[in-house]
Amino acid sequence: MRLLVSVRSAAELGPAIAGGAQIIDAKEPSLGSLGAVSAPALRAIAEALPPAVPLSVALGDPADAVAVEHAIAALDGLAGVPRELYLKVGLGSAANLAMAEALVVAAVGAASRSPACPAVIVVAYADAPAAGARPPDWLVELAAGRGAAGVLVDTRAKDGRDLFHHVDESTLRRWVVGAKRAGLLVALAGSLSAEGVRRVADLPADVVGVRGAVCLGGREGMLMEALVRRLRSVVDARVSRSGAVV
């Protein structure tokens, strides 16, 4: 399992990487769960990122296929793109399964044409009924069937209730196992505290993502190296117990 840390600017890269972040995620927390950073901020992050560190880019919840294609096309000029580049595409604006499928097809197609060759991660929300989005049960079949590289379950509302408030551990485990059997990279996030990260680390997911838990003053606060290091130790302890990287 790898620890993903969301940063909003290049200035946050130092403490994130020094603390042990294994994947850097470019995201603007003031714009919601998958808020996209500005083009200048993304360019600065990509240029300052060490080449060996994977980069994840949040693209928000596109309204339609044209929006997702434009968002991905805008990444073509990035300098210093790492070997591992992931694009997180949310389905929160999809009113039905047909719209969700169109978004995934558009994202995978646009990514395949990009010189950066990014991998598409399809995102659904555990609090979908409250947020007006579709629940994640159908996500595995959609992502695997349309060529996405992975799936992420997050929470859309950042109201203090974490992933485990909306879905129990046994249900999450079943879902993660099913997604991995389908050949997908599996990530979990959603207002996770240190205890939440520990609970996720006991599941067979590939990535756990955090923002608020590594910031002083909440998800829009100051990213702290010591808090990143604390969560990295939680993830490493899980790897040590399992005897292998999950």
Report the catalytic residues: 27, 88
d(CA 14, CA 101): 38
Residue 31 is classified by DSSP as G
Partners of 2 in the β-ladder: 207
Count of beta carbons in the 10 Å neighbourhood of residue 98? 9
Contact present, 173 and 202 (Cβ < 8 Å): no
One DSSP character per residue, 83-152 reads SSEEEEEE-TT-SSHHHHHHHHHHHHHHHHHSTT-PEEEEEEETTHHHHTS--GGGHHHHHHHTT-SEEE
Pairing verdict, β 185-188 and 222-223: unpaired
Pairing verdict, β 215-216 and 207-210: unpaired
